[in-house]
Amino acid sequence: MRLSGGYGPVVNHSELEAILYALAKSVVVHGRGAREVPAIFIWGPPGVGKSDTVRRVAARLAEETGRRLVEYEGVETYNVVVKEPSRHLVLVDIRASQLEPSDVQGLPRFVETGDGSVYTIWAAPLWARILSLPGVAGILFLDEVNLASPLVQAALYQVILERRVGSVRLSQRVFVVAAGNREQIDNPYARPLAPPLANRFIHVTLECPEPGAWLEWAERVGIHPWVREYVASMGAAGRNPLCGFEAMKDSQAFPTPRSWEFASNMLKRCQEAGGCKAIDSEDTVMAIASAVGNTEANEWLTWAKVMRGLPSPKSLASNPEKLAEVLASKRAEGMAPYYILARVAYASLEDPEVYAKLLLSLPDIVKKAGLSMDYVSAVIGMTHNLARDKLRKLREKNPSLYRRLDEFLKRHYMMQLVM
C-alpha cells in the first residue's frame, strides 16, 4: 500500500481482496449496516481485475457461509432465490454507464387506497426486489459509476448511503461496491464524481499488478505458457508489460491483464486450428497484436527473435554448460540475457529439483558467460515467490538439496524459501 494521488490509498490485488473481504464479511455474516460498514469505491485502469476481485470475494463468502452464489440474471434469478432467500448470496453486477435513472429508482405506479384515494409509489427494479428479500445476502457491484450520467449518479445517492431504493429497503446483509476509471488518467470520458456521491464511499485505487504476482494467478488459471514466459522475461529485465495504458491514445488494442488473457486465448484457438507453431511465426504475432496492440507485439517479436534457434528452456535448465554458452553468445544483444535466463528459470519451475539446481549454479553460469551478478538477482527476484509452494515438495523429496538452496538464498539474498 502507498499513499499517492487523490483516489485513496494505492493497493495491490491481495490488499484489495483483504479489504473487500473484511468489509463484506461484516455485512454478509454479521448484518452490520451502512453506517458501520460504508460502501467502497475501487478506482483503477481498465482491465486490471477490479470486477474479478469482487467475484472472488463473493465466491469465498458464499463458500464460508454455506450459501449458494447466484449472479443476477433477471426473472430467472428471482424465481430461484425467492424460494429460499436465506440460502443464497446474490451478486448483482450493474454497469451504471448503461442505466437510466428509472433503472435505479424504479417507475411510478398508481395505488388506490381503501377510501378511494389514488397515490403514486415507486415500483423498484427487480434487482432491488431480490436484494430486499428477507434473509438474502448479496453484493451490489456498481461498475463504471463515473461514466454514468449526472442523473443516474444522483439516483444512486440513497442506494449507497441508506441501502434503499425508493420505499424498498435492501437486506441488511447486502454490501455495496462501486468501481470506475480515474478521469484524465485511465479514461478521458470519465466524469468526476459529484462531491455528495464521492463522500458516500471510502476510496482505494487498484494498481497494475507486478509480473510476479500476475504470474501466480496466470499459472492457476492456465494462461498460455508462451505468454507467461514472455511476462516473466520482461519482468526480469525490469519492464512491466501488463499495463501499457499510454498506448490507449494511439491504439484500440493495448496491454492490460485482461487483454493478455485474450492473447492467451487467441494462441490456444490458433493452435487448436493447427497454427501458431512458433513464438515468432506471423500468425502468432498477429494473435498477440490483435489483443495487446502493435507496440507490445513488436516487443514480443524482439523477444521471440532472441529465442529463435535456441534449445528448449527446459533442456537449458538442466544443462548449465550449454546455458552459459548461449548467454555468452547473446551477451552483446541488449536485454537478451535477461530474457533467456528468465524464460529458462520460469520453465524450470515445473520440476522443483531442476529449479533448485539451476539457482545454485546461476552464479557460475553468469560468471562463465561474462555477465554480472545482477542477472542472478533479477531472476531470483522474479521467480522466488512463484517457487515457494513447489519447493515445499522439494523439502520432503530431497531435504539435502532443499537445505543447500535455503542456505544459499539466506546467505546471498536474505531470502527464505518457505515462510
Which pLDDT score, from 0 to 100, does residue 186 have? 63
Whether residue 178 is predicted with pLDDT greater than 50 in this model: the reply is: yes
Contacts of 154 (CB under 8 A, 6+ apart): 101, 194, 197
Chain-centroid distance, C-alpha 333: 33
Question: H/E element holding 303?
Answer: helix 294-307
Model pLDDT for residues 6-54, shown as the tens digit of each residue: 677 888 888 999 999 999 999 999 988 877 899 999 998 888 889 999 9
Burial 198-237 (b: 16+ CB within 10 A, else e): eebbeebbbbbbebbbbbeebeeeebbbbbbbbbbbbbbb
CB burial of residue 383 (10 Å; 0-12, 13-18, 19+): buried
Which pLDDT score, from 0 to 100, does residue 252 have? 83
| Domain segments of the chain as ranges | 10-206, 211-413
CB burial of residue 294 (10 Å; 0-12, 13-18, 19+): middle
Strand 88-95, strand 137-143: pairing: parallel
- Whether 204 and 306 have beta carbons less than 8 Å apart is answered as no
pTM: 0.80
Contacts 24+ apart (CB under 8 A), 53-59: 53/13, 53/16, 53/17, 53/20, 53/206, 54/20, 54/91, 54/93, 54/139, 54/141, 54/177, 54/179, 55/91, 56/17, 57/17, 57/20, 57/21, 57/24, 57/139, 58/24, 58/89, 58/91, 58/139
Which pLDDT score, from 0 to 100, does residue 117 have? 83
The hierarchical CATH code for the domain 10-206 is 3.40.50.300
Model pLDDT for residues 275-303, shown as the tens digit of each residue: 999 999 999 999 999 999 999 999 999 99
Look up cell 462501486; give the residue. 178
Mean pLDDT, all residues of the chain = 87
Q: For the chain, how big is the Rg over CA atoms in Å? A: 26
* Gap between the terminal Cα atoms of the chain: 21
For a pLDDT cut of 70, what percent of the chain falls above it? Answer: 94
- Whether 342 and 382 have beta carbons less than 8 Å apart is answered as yes
Q: How confident is the model at residue 236 (pLDDT cuts 50, 70, 90)?
A: confident
Q: How confident is the model at residue 419 (pLDDT cuts 50, 70, 90)?
A: very low
For a pLDDT cut of 90, what percent of the chain falls above it? Answer: 46
Model pLDDT for residues 140-176, shown as the tens digit of each residue: 999 998 888 888 888 888 888 888 888 889 999 999 9
* Spatial separation of the C-alpha atoms in residues 372 and 131, rounded to whole Å: 60
Model pLDDT for residues 86-129, shown as the tens digit of each residue: 999 999 999 988 888 888 888 888 888 777 788 887 788 999 99
